[in-house]
């Protein structure tokens, strides 16, 4: 079954072929095979006019989110989300309801582009959320607004946002400030370590290990709501082969499960940003 999912992404020449409709069809098949534990839902409509689908898994009190492909070219992240959807549908996390959104940037996914085409132009979804150091207008994308509305309405407690390609699990803050500590650093560090038992990825603060980026989902979820929010940067390439994706699924799905199982059952209480923004901070240009 895992091979079936992964083969959707790859042709014999190693070029990815999967498009959004095959992802939806696969999610429907996972739902049909696990009718008592999973349910297809829509979280909203994208700028391209397509439904943003999610698989709702389990019926526990604690609600969690796994979201992939803010960056449309990062199809390896969708593969891991689909692997998690299948594994959790077969064996839900007790006491939890997990929502899996395999593709947030639908037009980017179909075009193999990092960026989403929207009525406000082409944009990077992971720079489109409100944040304490944001100067521009957020939510130019209907998809990011839909996801933001969804995490509020569904009372999401923990979230994992999936990206490629840098082997690390990262925690807030990651925006343009030198004051990167939160009051929850100890919890975030422990949860990150829980997430990398199988992968052996690095763990660290988003800004220190990656780069400062304003308007990212992972900071927004914690800053706005106190959601236990981790960023999974997975693998070593934006164009993983089928065997590389299989490895990414195998080492990250157990880590996702352990993170969600071990995270506190309530959102963080004291999650305000009290530091200073540094808008002159030089942002490194490599893109994850
Ligand atoms: Zn990315």
pLDDT, position 71: 97
Q: Is the pLDDT of residue 11 over 70?
A: no
Mean predicted confidence (pLDDT) in 116-123 = 96
How many angstroms is it from 202 CA to the middle of ligand 1? 17
Rounded average pLDDT over 188-201: 98
pLDDT digits (tens, 9 = 90+) for 195-236: 999 999 999 998 888 778 899 999 999 999 999 999 999 999
- CATH 3.40.630.10 corresponds to the domain 2-262: yes
Decide: helix, strand or coil at residue 71: coil
pTM score of the predicted model: 0.94
pLDDT of residue 285: 41
Query: How does pLDDT run across 49-83, given as a tens digit for each residue?
Result: 999 999 999 999 999 999 999 999 999 999 999 99
What's the 276 CA to ligand 1 centre distance in angstroms? Answer: 26
Distance 72 CA to ligand 1 centre (A): 8
> Which residues are placed with Cβ below 5 angstroms of ligand 1, an ion?
71, 74, 163, 288
Q: In angstroms, what is the span from residue 169 Cα to ligand 1's centroid? A: 13
Q: At residue 35, does pLDDT exceed 80?
A: yes
Q: How far is the CA of 92 from the centre of ligand 1 (A)?
A: 27
Nearest to 232 by CA among 85, 98, 88, 65: 65
Cα–Cα distance measured from residue 203 to residue 189, given in angstroms and rounded to the nearest whole number: 7
Span from the CA of 152 to the centroid of ligand 1 (angstroms): 23
Q: Give residue-wise pLDDT tens across range 152-171.
A: 999 999 999 999 999 999 99
- Please give the distance, rounded to the nearest whole angstrom, from the Cα atom of residue 163 to the centre of ligand 1: 4
Return the CA Rg of the chain.
17
Which tens digits make up the pLDDT trace of 124-153?
999 999 999 988 899 999 999 999 999 999
Report whether pLDDT(8) > 70.
no
Q: How far is the CA of 246 from the centre of ligand 1 (A)?
A: 19
* Core vs surface per residue 163-202: b (16+ CB within 10 A) or e: bbbbbbbbbbbbbbbeebebebeebbeebbebbbeebebe
Q: Higher pLDDT residue, 95 or 288?
A: 95
pLDDT per position as a tens digit, 262-284: 999 999 999 999 999 987 774 54
Domain map of the chain by residue range? 2-262
For residue 34, report the distance from its CA to the centre of ligand 1, in Å.
30
Rounded distance from Cα 40 to ligand 1 centre (Å): 25
Q: From ligand 1's centre to the CA of 33, what distance in Å?
A: 30
Residue 9's pLDDT is 66
């Amino acid at each position: 079954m895992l091979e079936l999912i992964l083969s959707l992404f790859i042709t014999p020449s190693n070029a990815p072929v999967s498009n959004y409709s095959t992802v939806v069809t696969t999610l429907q098949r996972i739902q049909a095979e696990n009718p008592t534990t999973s349910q297809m839902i829509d979280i909203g409509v994208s700028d391209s006019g397509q439904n943003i689908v999610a698989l709702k898994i389990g019926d526990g009190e604690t609600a969690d989110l796994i979201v992939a492909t803010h960056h449309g070219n990062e199809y390896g992240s969708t593969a891991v989300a689909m692997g998690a959807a299948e594994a959790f549908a077969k064996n839900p996390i007790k006491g939890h309801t997990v929502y899996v959104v395999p593709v947030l940037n639908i037009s980017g996914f179909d075009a193999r582009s990092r960026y989403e085409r929207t009525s406000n132009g082409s944009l990077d979804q992971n720079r489109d959320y409100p944040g304490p150091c944001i100067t521009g207008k957020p939510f130019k994308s209907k998809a990011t607004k839909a996801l933001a509305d969804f995490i509020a309405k569904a009372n999401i407690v923990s979230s994992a946002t999936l990206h490629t390609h840098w082997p690390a699990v990262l925690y807030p803050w990651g925006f343009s400030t030198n004051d990167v500590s939160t009051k929850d650093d100890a919890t975030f560090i422990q949860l990150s370590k829980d997430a990398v038992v199988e992968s052996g990825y690095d763990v660290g603060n988003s800004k220190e290990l990656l780069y400062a980026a304003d308007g990212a989902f992972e900071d927004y979820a914690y800053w706005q709501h106190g959601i236990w929010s981790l960023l999974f940067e997975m693998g070593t390439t934006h164009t993983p082969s089928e065997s590389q994706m299989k490895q990414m699924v195998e080492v990250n799905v157990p880590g996702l499960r352990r993170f969600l199982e071990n995270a506190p059952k309530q959102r963080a209480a004291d999650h305000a940003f009290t530091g200073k923004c540094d808008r002159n901070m030089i942002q490194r240009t490599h893109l994850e």
